[in-house]
C-alpha cells in the first residue's frame, strides 16, 4: 500500500516542478523585458539631456500623447515659445524629432549646413509602407525609389539631376509660353463660371505639369487625372503630419507594420491610394513615350535616360509623379489662398490696381516683360507665399548624415529634423501682426520691412539641397497668374440672399502637410468693359495656341476602369 501511495504522489510532484519552472521562465521574461525597458529609457533620458529643450519623454511612447488632433505646427510654435528656444526636441515614440521654429535657426542649420542636413530620416508611414524607402539603413544599397524620401547618396544625385532636367531653374523659362496661355484660360474660365474657381485652379496647375511631363494638356475640369492627382497628393500630405492615430501611429510603434493589412485593414487605411498613384504615374509616362516619342516632354527624357542610369519602373513613376507634387496641388492651393486674402483684406487691392493700370492698362493683361515694373505685384505674390504657405512644415523632414551641434546641444545623426514654416512665417520679430495680409512687408523702402536671412524673404520651398525642385516653376506661375487675376477682377466676398457679405475665415484650413483653405464662396467682377473684352480675346487665342497639346489618354481611361472593377 505504501508503494502505491508513493507512486500516486509522483505526478503531483512533477506538476509542481513544471509549474515552478513556468513561473521562473515567466519571471525571467518579465525581468528581461523590464531590464530592456530600463536600458532603453535610460538611453532616451541621456539623449533628452544632450538635445535641444523639449518635454520629458515617457518610456516607449515618448511625447506622442501630447500631440494635438490637428495642426501640430501650431502646437510646436507654442511649445517653442514656452521653452524660450527656437529649436526644440519632441519625441515620437522612442525617437526624438527636432522642430526649428525661427528663420535664423533654420538658415543656420538647414542652409548653411546643407551638406550635413542633406539626407532623410526613416519615415515608416510615408516612405516604407508605400514602398518609397526600402530600408532604414542610410547606407543601404537600395536607398529608395523616390527623390522625396531617398537617403542622401549617389542614387539621390541621379534623381536630382533628372529632376532638374525637367523643372530646374534653367528649364522653367522655356515653359513660359504655355504657362502664360493656361493662365489666360483661368481668367477666361472665371469670367464664365466664377463659382468653379477651385476647379479652374486645379485644372490649370495640373495642365501645366501634364504638358511638361506628358505633352498633353488637361482641358476639362472633369478630367479624371485632376481628381486622381489631387487625391494622391493630398493623401501623401496627410501621411506626413505627426499624429497619434493610425496610420501615423506606426511612426511611434514601427513593430506594428509587421501585422497583416488583411487582418487589420483599419490600421493600414489610406495607404492604398498612395500605392495606386505610383502605378498611375508610370502608366502616364509610358503612354506619352509611346504616343509622342518625338515631342519634347519629360516622360520621353526619362525613357531615353533609362539605360544610362538603369531606371526601374518605380523610379520612372516617382520622377514623373513628383512633377505633380512640385506643381499641381501646391500651386492650386496657393491660388485659393490668394483669393482668400483678397476677400479678407480688400484694402490691399487699390494699390495693386493703381500699379497695374499705370504699367499695363486695360487693353491687355500683364506679361513677363512687365515684371520688373510691377514692384507691388511682386511683393503681393511674396506675401501670398508667406501668409499661408502651402507646405506648412517645409515638406519632408531632413536628417543629418553625422552628429551635429546647435548652441551647445547635440543633434544625433539620422534625427528627424523639421522646419516649422508656420512658426517661421508667423514670428512677430520678422513679420509683425503676422496674420494680417500686408504686401508692404516686401517693399524695401517700407517701414514694415524687416531683416530676413535670405533674399527672398520667405522659406516656403524648403532649404539647402532638399529645397523643392519645382520652386522656379511655382514662383513663375504664381506671379503671372496673380498679376493677371488682380488686373482682371475685383475679387470680393460673396453675398447671401439678403445681400449681406458672407464672412471668410482666414484660419479655416485643411490639416495636411500641403494645407489649403476650406471651401468658401466669393465673387469675381471684371474691373472694366475693356478688361472684359481683353479677357475674352486673350482666352480664345490661348485655347487656339494650346490646341497642339490636346488629346485623350487611353491609359488614364483604362486605369480608372480597372480600379473601379477592383474596388
Closest by alpha carbon to 487, among 183, 149, 151?
A: 183
Q: How far is CA 57 from CA 60, 103, 160, 171, 397, in A?
A: 9, 27, 37, 47, 21
φ/ψ (deg, to 5) at 417: -125, 115
Rounded Cα distance between 257 and 239, Å, is 15
* Strand, coil or helix: 145: coil
Q: Give the containing element (helix H, strand E) for 545.
A: helix 529-545
Judge whether 379 and 483 are in contact, CB under 8 Å. Answer: no
- How many Å separate Cα 314 from the centre of its chain? 20
Q: Is the peptide bond before 103 cis (omega within 30 degrees of 0)?
A: no
Whether 468 has a binding-site annotation, put simply, is yes
Judge whether 507 and 546 are in contact, CB under 8 Å. Answer: no
* Strand, coil or helix: 90: strand
How does 332-368 read in b/e, with b if 16+ C-beta sit within 10 Å? bbbbbbbbbbbbbbeebbeebeebbeebbebeebbee
- Provide the grid cell at 441: 512687408
Contacting residues for 430 by C-beta, under 8 A, at least 6 apart:
103, 424, 450, 451, 452
- Provide the grid cell at 566: 477592383
Judge whether 62 and 93 are in contact, CB under 8 Å. Answer: yes
DSSP secondary structure string for all residues of 414-466: T-EEEE-HHHHHT-TTTSSSTTS--GGGG-TTSTT----SSSSS--TT--GGG
Judge whether 231 and 563 are in contact, CB under 8 Å. Answer: no
* Strand, coil or helix: 522: strand
Helices (H), ranges, 247-399: 271-291, 298-309, 313-327, 329-344, 349-359, 375-387
* Strand, coil or helix: 18: helix
Contacting residues for 156 by C-beta, under 8 A, at least 6 apart:
143, 147, 150
How many helices (H) does the chain have, and how many strands (E)?
Answer: 18, 7
- Provide the grid cell at 451: 531683416
Judge whether 424 and 452 are in contact, CB under 8 Å. Answer: no
Residue numbers in the known binding site are: 468
Residue numbers in the known binding site for heme are: 468
Amino acid at each position: 500500500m505504501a508503494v502505491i501511495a508513493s507512486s500516486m504522489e509522483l505526478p503531483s510532484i512533477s506538476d509542481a516542478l513544471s509549474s515552478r519552472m513556468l513561473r521562473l521562465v515567466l519571471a525571467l521574461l518579465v525581468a528581461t523585458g523590464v531590464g530592456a525597458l530600463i536600458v532603453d529609457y535610460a538611453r532616451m533620458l541621456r539623449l533628452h539631456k544632450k538635445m535641444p529643450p523639449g518635454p520629458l519623454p515617457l518610456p516607449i511612447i515618448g511625447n506622442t500623447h501630447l500631440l494635438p488632433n490637428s495642426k501640430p505646427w501650431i502646437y510646436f510654435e507654442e511649445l517653442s515659445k514656452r521653452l524660450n528656444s527656437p529649436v526644440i526636441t519632441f519625441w515620437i515614440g522612442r525617437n526624438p524629432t527636432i522642430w526649428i521654429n525661427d528663420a535664423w535657426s533654420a538658415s543656420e542649420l538647414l542652409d548653411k549646413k546643407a551638406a550635413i542636413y542633406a539626407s532623410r530620416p526613416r519615415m515608416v508611414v510615408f516612405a516604407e509602407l508605400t514602398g518609397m524607402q526600402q530600408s532604414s539603413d542610410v547606407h543601404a544599397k537600395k536607398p529608395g525609389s523616390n527623390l522625396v524620401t531617398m537617403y542622401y547618396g549617389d542614387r539621390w544625385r541621379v534623381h536630382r539631376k533628372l529632376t532638374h532636367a525637367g523643372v530646374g531653374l534653367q528649364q522653367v523659362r522655356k515653359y513660359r509660353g504655355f504657362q502664360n496661355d493656361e493662365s489666360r484660360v483661368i481668367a477666361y474660365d472665371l469670367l464664365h463660371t466664377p463659382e468653379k474657381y477651385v476647379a479652374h485652379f486645379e485644372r490649370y496647375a495640373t495642365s501645366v505639369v501634364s504638358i511638361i511631363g506628358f505633352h498633353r494638356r488637361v482641358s476639362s475640369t472633369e478630367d479624371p487625372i485632376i481628381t486622381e492627382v489631387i487625391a494622391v497628393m493630398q493623401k501623401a500630405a496627410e501621411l506626413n503630419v505627426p499624429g497619434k492615430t493610425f496610420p501615423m501611429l506606426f511612426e511611434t510603434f514601427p513593430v506594428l507594420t509587421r501585422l497583416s493589412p488583411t487582418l487589420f485593414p483599419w490600421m493600414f487605411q489610406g495607404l492604398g491610394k498612395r500605392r495606386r498613384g505610383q502605378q498611375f504615374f508610370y502608366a502616364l509616362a509610358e503612354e506619352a513615350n509611346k504616343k509622342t516619342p518625338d515631342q519634347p516632354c519629360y516622360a520621353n527624357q526619362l525613357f531615353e535616360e533609362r539605360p544610362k542610369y538603369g531606371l526601374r519602373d518605380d523610379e520612372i513613376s516617382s520622377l514623373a509623379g513628383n512633377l505633380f507634387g512640385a506643381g499641381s496641388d501646391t500651386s492650386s492651393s496657393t491660388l485659393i489662398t490668394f483669393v482668400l486674402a483678397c476677400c479678407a483684406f480688400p484694402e490691399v487691392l487699390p494699390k495693386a490696381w493703381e500699379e497695374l493700370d499705370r504699367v499695363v492698362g486695360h487693353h491687355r493683361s500683364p506679361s513677363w516683360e512687365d515684371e520688373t515694373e510691377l514692384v507691388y505685384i511682386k511683393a503681393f505674390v511674396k506675401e501670398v507665399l508667406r501668409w499661408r504657405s502651402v507646405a506648412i512644415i517645409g515638406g519632408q523632414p531632413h536628417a543629418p548624415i553625422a552628429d551635429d551641434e546647435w548652441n551647445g546641444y547635440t543633434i544625433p545623426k539620422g534625427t528627424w529634423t523639421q522646419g516649422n514654416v508656420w512658426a517661421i512665417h508667423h514670428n512677430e520679430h520678422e513679420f509683425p501682426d503676422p496674420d494680417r495680409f500686408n504686401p508692404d512687408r516686401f517693399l524695401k523702402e517700407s517701414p514694415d520691412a524687416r531683416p530676413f536671412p535670405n533674399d527672398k524673404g520667405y522659406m516656403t520651398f524648403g532649404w539647402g539641397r532638399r529645397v523643392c525642385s519645382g520652386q522656379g516653376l511655382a514662383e513663375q506661375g504664381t506671379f503671372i497668374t496673380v498679376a493677371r487675376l488682380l488686373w482682371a477682377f475685383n475679387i470680393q466676398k460673396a453675398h447671401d440672399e439678403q445681400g449681406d457679405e458672407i464672412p471668410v475665415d482666414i484660419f479655416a484650413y485643411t490639416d495636411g502637410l500641403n494645407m489649403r483653405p476650406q471651401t468658401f464662396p466669393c465673387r469675381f467682377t471684371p474691373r472694366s468693359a475693356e478688361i472684359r473684352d481683353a479677357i475674352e480675346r486673350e482666352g480664345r487665342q490661348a485655347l487656339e495656341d494650346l490646341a497642339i497639346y490636346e488629346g485623350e489618354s487611353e491609359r488614364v481611361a483604362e486605369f480608372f476602369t480597372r480600379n473601379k472593377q477592383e474596388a
